[in-house]
Structure 1
């Protein structure tokens, strides 16, 4: 998620002080991604440098208020109209499992089971959190609900991928393609029975 564009979109509604902007961001994202106020001011400095915001005066306490420029408003419209392009990021879990598969003596199915347990615990926590919230009654409730649901879908996808990885490893072990992967007794039983759970 682009903090830069999100702050610009908020400023497109009305000028804000840095602390106000931080509060608006957290409210509008359901408090899921807390922002450090230093990050807000660093981002505002860059937005000012790039001509997307301007300082709109200061109050008696010396707080600077920022306002969006025409170029900033145009940037917001472009951001909201464009699809999000998924970045190829390093997935620590995929990397860990890939490396583990190449190391002798590693109980890869146990590694998968440990991760599955942790993943399902996160899924349960998120589901409980989602269930505790009443139907969205305000825009910020709706924002929070959408963010939590996004996280639930991502964790569900990770659980499905772990099932897939486990089945793939069991098939590879059954065919003898991965002699370097440690296949403990439980996994050997799965292989002997003709597949993964």
Structure 2
């Protein structure tokens, strides 16, 4: 996730201070990804250093309001008009865990898959309930939240399907592995 571009996009709409940016980000993404306020201010400092935002004014209190520069607006337009690059696959802790478990003795991979499937199905049910509740709301602003929930649901469904495939492959390859092991012992 690009916090940098997300904050620039929100500032492209109008100037804001850090806590407003964090709140807006959470509201517009359905609070699916936590955003630490320290991360917001660190990113704002870097954006200011890079000439993409500027401090505009205080709010009369201790809050500093940030606005976007012309160069920052150009970055937002470029971000929205370009695809998300998939040059390297993202790290998938579950895939790493399963691949290591398969290569280490004494790990019950089938049990591991079943435990993960149960957890993934629980998450899928939670997302589906949240989507149903959000869809029942008459606010048009909830469309962004619905899209995020749809993405999370599709990812959870894909994970469950992948786990089903892993278990099927384990069952399919298990007889061949036993035969190969018995042959090697002779």
How high is the TM-score relative to the length of structure 2? 0.89
Deviation at 1:97, TM superposition (A): 0.9
The 1:101–1:17 alpha-carbon spacing in structure 2 relative to 1, beyond 3 Å, is same
- Distance across 2 between alignment mates of 1:41 and 1:178: 60
Structure-1 residue corresponding to 2:51: 51
Provide the alpha-carbon RMSD of the alignment: 1.9
Long gaps (5+) in structure 2: 182-186
- Distance across 2 between alignment mates of 1:106 and 1:130: 36
Structure-1 residue corresponding to 2:10: 10
Kept in 2: contact 1:119–1:155 (CA 8 A) = yes
The 1:129–1:179 alpha-carbon spacing in structure 2 relative to 1, beyond 3 Å, is farther
Long gaps (5+) in structure 1: 181-197
- Distance across 2 between alignment mates of 1:28 and 1:112: 34
Kept in 1: contact 2:135–2:146 (CA 8 A) = no
Deviates more, 1:158-167 or 1:33-42: 33-42
Structure-2 residue corresponding to 1:84: 84
Structure-2 residue corresponding to 1:156: 157
Correspondence list, 1:115-194, <5 A: 115-135=116-136, 137-176=138-177
- Distance across 1 between alignment mates of 2:128 and 2:180: 39
Kept in 2: contact 1:29–1:140 (CA 8 A) = no
Matched residues, number? 180
Counterpart of 2:141 in 1: which secondary structure?
A: helix
Deviation at 1:124, TM superposition (A): 1.2
Query: 1:114 and 2:115 equivalent?
Result: yes
Deviation at 1:115, TM superposition (A): 1.0
Greater share of helix residues, 1 or 2?
A: 2
Structure-2 residue corresponding to 1:28: 28
